[in-house]
């Protein structure tokens, strides 16, 4: 799917058209969509979501899934995970982003990089930057989360960085059981080992995940690996 401009620029164009011609914003959005060759804005947005890797991945996820998203630094694993959250919220589900890596400003900057207004998801998106994040903390915070809520954990290798936290393998088992019991989709962002050589393998895989501590990666029933625009989605057999 190719548009004449990024989606956020088309939205700006519609807002400008709405002001200049004094027409409702939804009418302006539909007019812009027609110019792009789509019958209305909602149809354009739906097609765009389906064409994005995040949209394709979300379509393959279901409540109870534990998902691993892995890539080397700078390859878009955080953006992909945020896009998953955005796609989930577009469907009316809540999204919760737990991060031990980023500040609130960092996450807001990534929303802008995607071309999405953070404010439009007011009430659906929750950001938690607590340094107490662990599997036990996550399950406490999500004790009343609705079925279908999409949860992002950033990132996997930091969950057991504190000595008082259980071993990583135990925490992942807790998250897997919790996802199944509550009907949540839990996405864990993961680092990739430095030994991965992109010149020999187009995209990293499960064997390239960095594991400073033992962990059975078969606990994850879905995986997504990225490298230089390449996206590989896999479902555990």
Query: Does residue 111 lie within any of the structural domains?
Result: yes
Res 237 pLDDT > 60? no
pTM over 0.85: no
The pLDDT tens digits of the residues spanning 138-161 come to 999 999 999 999 999 999 999 999
Task: Decide: helix, strand or coil at residue 35.
Answer: helix
If pLDDT is split at 50, 70 and 90, which confidence band does 50 have? Answer: low
The whole-angstrom separation of Cα 57 and Cα 54 is 5
Query: Does residue 78 lie within any of the structural domains?
Result: yes
Find the angle CA(137)-CA(139)-CA(142) to the nearest 5 degrees: 110
> At residue 236, what are phi and psi to the nearest 5 degrees?
-65, 140
The pLDDT tens digits of the residues spanning 118-136 come to 888 888 999 999 999 999 9
Query: Does residue 11 lie within any of the structural domains?
Result: yes
Q: Which of 17, 35, 51 is where one domain is finished? A: 51
Helix or strand run (H / E) with residue 225: strand 222-227
Q: What pLDDT shows up at residue 122? A: 81
The answer to whether residues 70 and 28 belong to one domain is no
Handedness of CA 22, 13, 84, 111 (dihedral sign): negative
The pLDDT tens digits of the residues spanning 62-113 come to 999 999 999 999 898 998 999 999 999 988 999 999 999 999 999 988 888 7
Q: What pLDDT shows up at residue 53? A: 79
Task: Decide: helix, strand or coil at residue 73.
Answer: coil
Q: Residue ranges of the alpha helices (H) in the chain?
A: 7-21, 25-35, 41-51, 53-59, 77-90, 104-114, 135-141, 168-182
Classify residue 166 as left (phi > 0), alpha (psi -120 to 50) or beta.
Answer: beta
The answer to whether residues 90 and 173 belong to one domain is yes
Q: What pLDDT shows up at residue 49? A: 65
The answer to whether residues 43 and 67 belong to one domain is no
Query: Does residue 32 lie within any of the structural domains?
Result: yes
Please give the tally of structural domains in the chain.
2
The answer to whether residues 102 and 211 belong to one domain is yes
The answer to whether residues 40 and 149 belong to one domain is no
The answer to whether residues 119 and 155 belong to one domain is yes
The answer to whether residues 155 and 226 belong to one domain is yes
Query: Does residue 66 lie within any of the structural domains?
Result: yes
Domain span holding position 33: 7-51
Query: Does residue 59 lie within any of the structural domains?
Result: yes
Q: What pLDDT shows up at residue 197? A: 95
Q: What pLDDT shows up at residue 220? A: 97
Query: Does residue 1 lie within any of the structural domains?
Result: no
- Cα of first residue to Cα of last residue in the chain, in angstroms, is 31
Q: What pLDDT shows up at residue 133? A: 97
The answer to whether residues 146 and 33 belong to one domain is no
Q: What pLDDT shows up at residue 31? A: 95
The answer to whether residues 38 and 151 belong to one domain is no
The pLDDT tens digits of the residues spanning 156-215 come to 999 999 999 999 999 999 999 999 999 999 999 999 999 999 999 999 999 999 998 999
The answer to whether residues 36 and 131 belong to one domain is no
- Are 204 and 227 contacting, i.e. CB atoms less than 8 angstroms apart? yes
Residue with more model confidence, 173 or 3: 173
The answer to whether residues 179 and 168 belong to one domain is yes
Query: Does residue 2 lie within any of the structural domains?
Result: no
Average pLDDT estimate for 211-223: 94
The answer to whether residues 35 and 90 belong to one domain is no
- What is the CATH number for 136? 3.40.50.300
- Are 176 and 170 contacting, i.e. CB atoms less than 8 angstroms apart? no
């Amino acid at each position: 799917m190719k548009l004449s401009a990024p989606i956020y620029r088309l939205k700006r164009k519609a807002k400008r058209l709405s002001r200049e011609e004094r027409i409702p914003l939804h009418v302006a959005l539909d007019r812009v969509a027609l110019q792009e060759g789509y019958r209305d804005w909602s149809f354009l947005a739906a097609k765009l979501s389906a064409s994005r890797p995040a949209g394709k991945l979300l379509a393959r996820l279901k409540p109870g899934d534990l998902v691993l998203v892995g890539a080397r630094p700078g390859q878009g694993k955080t953006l992909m995970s945020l896009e998953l959250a955005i796609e989930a919220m577009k469907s009316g589900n809540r999204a919760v982003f737990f991060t031990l890596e980023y500040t609130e400003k960092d996450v807001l900057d990534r929303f802008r990089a995607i071309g999405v207004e953070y404010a439009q998801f007011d009430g659906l998106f929750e950001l938690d930057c607590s340094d107490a994040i662990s599997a036990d903390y996550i399950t406490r915070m999500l004790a009343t989360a609705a079925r279908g809520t999409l949860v992002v954990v950033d990132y996997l290798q930091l969950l057991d960085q504190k000595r008082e936290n259980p071993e990583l393998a135990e925490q992942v088992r807790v998250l897997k059981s919790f996802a199944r019991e509550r009907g949540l989709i839990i996405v864990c962002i993961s680092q990739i080992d430095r030994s991965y050589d992109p010149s020999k393998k187009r995209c990293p895989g499960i064997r390239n995940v960095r594991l400073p501590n033992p962990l059975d990666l078969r606990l994850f029933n879905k995986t997504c690996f990225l490298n230089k625009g390449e996206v590989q989605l896999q479902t555990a057999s």
